[in-house]
Amino acid sequence: MKRIGVFTSGGDAPGMNACVRAVVRTALYHGVEVYGIMRGYSGMIKGEIVRLDTTSVANIVQRGGTILKSARSQRFQTKEGRQAAFDQLVNHKIEGLVAIGGNGTFTGAELFEREFGIPTVGAPGTIDNDLFGTDYTIGYDTAVNTALEAIDKIRDTADSHDRAFFVEVMGRDSGYIAIPCAIGGGAEIVLVPETQQSLESVIEQLQIGRKRQKSSFLVVVAEGEEEGNATHIATQVKEAIPELDVRVTVVGHIQRGGAPSAADRLLASQIGIAAVEGLINGMRSVMAGIVDRKLVYTPFHDCITRKKPINQSFMRMMEILST
Ligand code: F6P
């Protein structure tokens, strides 16, 4: 393999730049040319493709966001869009790809490989940590720390004003961000899509706390929670317990930005090297990940279709510590 392309796609995540840097430098180390594809599949279709050298990725290991920019492409979901992307890769003589992203990115890459035979190795880049085939995704650790910092601040004001705060954190279909935030932030309740906790039981738990003279409460809600978003849940709680002074905070996109943590920079670097070396060694349609501290390559199909279970011992910790 003489020339590869690298791109970032889907929601950005802190550490994506560190991964791009590792991909570029590993390719060059092995004598392979490397091209950056801007704005994910969208830039691939339009031919926004630039040669990268070792200095192109200097001074980015510590930066949040992605120098390659990111996008979610509707057009790549059509055969016509994928054909246009393939034509651009052929024009640029790109023989293999490293895709840094999440579920949607790998769904596209798997289909693309099947239709056009372009080998792709994935690097898990998403704050959600919802990918099967790796214990942690690039950006997750930073996002949890960012959300936790916000929660600590909310706790101060909740305590001063004797209020109940419903704090919504990201995680489209998963509670991976919410659970460590709830444990680390000393929350009374965590609501995540993986477990079913009824509104009635939330109200009951808050009532029990009130009887025990607790004056402030923290409820961490994952945005994908089935009972609804934090505002919806808080409104219903207020109707049931009118005396409770309720507030809602949506932590939002600050969870996606900022300098990556040490753990994310290390993970991104390790995975970036593994992705390129996997590609050079003939791997295709797999994601490089770390499971039980070991490097593993998992087929895209499994990463996309298999649900990564939440850590049940964390739920038990919540149960014990939130009383
Ligand atoms: O997948 C990462 C993520 O931040 C999710 O947690 C969230 O649901 C989604 O992206 C938000 O996407 P957008 O930036 O397009 O609003």
Whether residues 245 and 267 share a domain: the answer is no
Domain boundary among 220, 239, 256: 256
Whether residues 68 and 133 share a domain: the answer is yes
> Total structural domains in the chain?
2
How far apart, in Å, are the Cα atoms of 215 and each of 160, 211, 225, 237, 296? 9, 10, 25, 16, 48
pLDDT for 178-190, tens place per residue? 999 999 999 999 9
Per annotation, catalytic residue among 12, 128, 130, 141: 128
209 CA distance to ligand 1 centroid (A)?
33
Length of the chain: 323
**Which atom of ligand 1 sits closest to the CA of residue 172?**
8
Whether residues 269 and 133 share a domain: the answer is yes
Atom 3, ligand 1: residue with shortest CA distance: 11
Residue 225 has pLDDT above 90, yes or no: no
Contact 271, 22 (CB under 8 A): yes
Tell me, rounded to whole angstroms, the distance of Cα 309 from its chain centroid: 15
How far apart, in Å, are the Cα atoms of 225 and each of 194, 195, 203, 231? 8, 9, 16, 12
- Report whether residue 267 contacts ligand 1, using a CB cutoff of 6 Å: no
Q: How much is the pLDDT for 130?
A: 96
Does 278 fall in a domain?
yes
Which CATH number is 219's domain given? 3.40.50.460
Residue 323 has pLDDT above 80, yes or no: no
Contact 5, 49 (CB under 8 A): yes
Whether residues 162 and 94 share a domain: the answer is no
Q: What average pLDDT does this structure show over 293-320?
A: 95
Active site residue 141: no
Say whether 22 counts as a known binding-site residue. yes
Domain boundary among 232, 256, 280: 256
126 CA distance to ligand 1 centroid (A)?
9
Which CATH number is 24's domain given? 3.40.50.450
Strand partners, 249: 167
Does 126 fall in a domain?
yes
Q: Half-sphere exposure of 201 toward its Cβ, with a 13 Å CA cutoff?
A: 9
Q: What average pLDDT does this structure show over 68-95?
A: 97
Atom 6, ligand 1: residue with shortest CA distance: 171
Does 312 fall in a domain?
no
Does 184 fall in a domain?
yes
Whether residues 103 and 34 share a domain: the answer is yes
Share of the chain above pLDDT 70, in %: 100
Whether residues 55 and 100 share a domain: the answer is yes
- Report whether residue 103 contacts ligand 1, using a CB cutoff of 6 Å: no
Q: How much is the pLDDT for 163?
A: 98
Report the b/e string of 180-198 with b at 16+ CB within 10 A.
bbbbebebbbbbbbbeeee
Whether residues 186 and 284 share a domain: the answer is no
Atom 7, ligand 1: residue with shortest CA distance: 172
Does 319 fall in a domain?
no
The amino acid present at 45, given as its one-letter code, is I
- Whether the complex's predicted ipTM surpasses the cut of 0.95: yes
Helix ranges (H only) for the chain are 16-29, 40-46, 79-91, 103-116, 140-161, 178-184, 199-211, 230-240, 262-280, 300-305, 312-321
Whether residues 194 and 78 share a domain: the answer is no
**Which atom of ligand 1 sits closest to the CA of residue 102?**
1
Residue 228 has pLDDT above 90, yes or no: no
Residue 83 has pLDDT above 80, yes or no: yes
- Report whether residue 257 contacts ligand 1, using a CB cutoff of 6 Å: no
Whether residues 172 and 111 share a domain: the answer is no
- Report whether residue 127 contacts ligand 1, using a CB cutoff of 6 Å: yes
Whether residues 11 and 135 share a domain: the answer is yes
Does 320 fall in a domain?
no
- Report whether residue 171 contacts ligand 1, using a CB cutoff of 6 Å: yes
Domain boundary among 239, 256, 273: 256
Whether residues 58 and 151 share a domain: the answer is no
Does 200 fall in a domain?
yes
- Report whether residue 15 contacts ligand 1, using a CB cutoff of 6 Å: no
Residue showing tokens 């920079």: 265
Q: How much is the pLDDT for 227?
A: 81
Whether residues 132 and 197 share a domain: the answer is no
pLDDT for 193-220, tens place per residue? 999 889 999 999 999 999 999 999 999 9
Atom 15, ligand 1: residue with shortest CA distance: 11
Does 311 fall in a domain?
no
Structure tokens at 122: 């994935």
Say whether 253 counts as a known binding-site residue. yes
Share of the chain above pLDDT 90, in %: 96
Collect all residues with Cβ–Cβ distance below 8 Å to 225 and sequence separation of at least 6.
175, 191, 192, 193, 233
DSSP string, 229-248: -HHHHHHHHHHH-TTS-EEE
Tell me, rounded to whole angstroms, the distance of Cα 178 from its chain centroid: 13
- Taking all residues of the chain, what is their mean pLDDT, rounded to a whole number? 97
Is the sign of the CA dihedral 165, 170, 173, 179 positive or negative? negative
Domain that holds residue 100: 3-139+260-305
pLDDT for 31-66, tens place per residue? 999 999 999 999 999 999 999 999 999 999 999 999
